[in-house]
Structure formats: structure tokens, C-alpha cells
Homo-oligomer: A and B are copies of this chain.
Amino acid sequence: MKSVEVCFSPDLIHFHELEGKAVVVVDIFRATSTMVAALANGVVSILPFADLEACKAKQAEGFLIAGERNGLTAPGFEMGNSPVAYLEGDYTGRKLAMTTTNGTQALEKSKGAAEILIGAFPNLQATVSYLQKLDLDVLVHCAGWKGRFNLEDSLYAGALVKSLESTHLADEDGALAMKSLFEREGHQLKKYLSKASHAKRLQNHGIESDIDFCLTLDVCDLVIRLDEEGFLVPA
């Protein structure tokens, strides 16, 4: 049986072994949810950037550019970090260059893993099925909020651990704890996560519909992986 473990912050990732593992990067509000929305709605690939300026420079090469800092669209960018924007517009065939406060940094720090996937509630089950076929040990890498533990990424980790239980043993402390948490709170995801500090920050930005998308399970039959050239693409 393979194993599954959870890392709660990019600032703790150096305590976890990456080599030979499938790392699932999670930033529920909203980077990884937005990636799922974009690739499920016509965008062909996403090039992630940790740095704002490097991301913006890709516009000259025809990329659609998405930049977010602290929950808001960064100055000079076409897109922010709203998944719903991709459901509403038509971005068929576009390549996207994207940078966000937490999510793209977690992705950067996952390099060295055998496989890097993007996890979000809308494509949970698709990701589970893919991981079960892949047959590697799994590490869930939560982006957190500016280095800190956050509730929504952790609860997704719990959902993934729970969904993998027939193939991946949760005998690591983070995985055990989040599986218990999901067993307790998973039936009322939206209600429970409305208490989360980040959800409150987002509510202040008036983006209830984004939160709804981010917390909706299994509406996209899509697995996203980082390819050899550094693009996020459907698997």
C-alpha cells in the first residue's frame, strides 16, 4: 500500500521528502480552483510564475495574463484570481500566464517531485482516480496563507486522504488529523469554511460566487499536471 502525508505550509515543505512522490498542490481560495476553472473552460495551458513582473512580461508573447496579490487583481493584469471569470468569458485556445500570493509559490517549492498535480474540490474525484492509477506515495502540499496553516487547504487535504484510503495509508500525523477533521466537518463544507479567515477576507471582496465554485465537489472531470516544460496541462 502506498502512503499519503500532508504539509501545511510551503515554509515547512523542506521537512518533507519530494523525490519519487506525487505532490498535490492545493490553494483552494483561489489559485488551484481557478486553474481548474480555466483549463476546464478552454484555456489550453497555464504557465505559473512566483514573480509578478516575469508573469506580466508574457503578455508580449500572446499569453493571457493573470496576477493576484492579497486577493485583488494586480495592477496591469487582464485577469485576477477569480475562477468564475473563466466560466463567464471565452478563453478557448488561450495560453495563460498566472501568478498568485500563495498558490504559485507552493508550486515552485514542489519541484523535484516525480509528479506535480493541482488539487481543488471541483476536480477532487478525478485527481483521486489518477493518483490511484499512478501508484506513487502522495504528498499534499497546502499553500496556506502567507506561510500559515489555513482551514480550506487543510480540509481539502483531509478529503483527499479520505478518498485515497483504499490505496494510500494515512499513517503520518498531518494526514491522520485532516482525515478526522474531514470526517467531522466534510458534510457541511460551505458552512464550516465560512468561518475560515480567508473566506472572510474573500467575502469582504464581494466574491461569493467564487467561494461557491471553490467549494463545489466534482464538477470538472479534469486532472491537471505540471508537464516537463513547466506548463500546467490536462493530464
Q: How far is the CA of A185 from the CA of B183 in the complex (A)?
A: 11
**Which residue in chain B gives the minimum CB-CB distance to A172?**
B197
> Chain B contacts of A147 at CB under 8 A?
12, 15
Knowing A15-B146, A15-B147, say if A197 contacts B171 (CB, 8 Å).
Answer: yes
Stretch of A71-79, A99-107, A174-182 contacting B (4+ beta carbons < 8 Å): A174-182
Do the beta carbons of A196 and B174 come within 8 Å of each other? no
> Chain B contacts of A183 at CB under 8 A?
184
Number of copies: 2
Interface of A is mostly: helix
Q: Would you give the 0/1 interface string for A139-178, flagging 1 where the beta carbon is closer than 8 Å to chain B?
A: 0000001111111001100000000000000011110110
A195: Cβ under 8 A from any B Cβ: yes
Do the beta carbons of A176 and B149 come within 8 Å of each other? no
A227: Cβ under 8 A from any B Cβ: no
Chain A: how many interface residues by the 8 Å CB criterion?
A: 32
> Chain B contacts of A173 at CB under 8 A?
145, 148-151, 154, 196-198
> Chain B contacts of A174 at CB under 8 A?
148-149
A8: Cβ under 8 A from any B Cβ: yes
Do the beta carbons of A149 and B184 come within 8 Å of each other? no
Interface centre among A9, A151, A155, A180 (most CB of B within 10 A): A180
The 10 closest A-B pairs by CB, nearest first: A151-B173, A184-B184, A15-B147, A149-B174, A15-B148, A150-B173, A180-B184, A181-B181, A173-B197, A180-B181
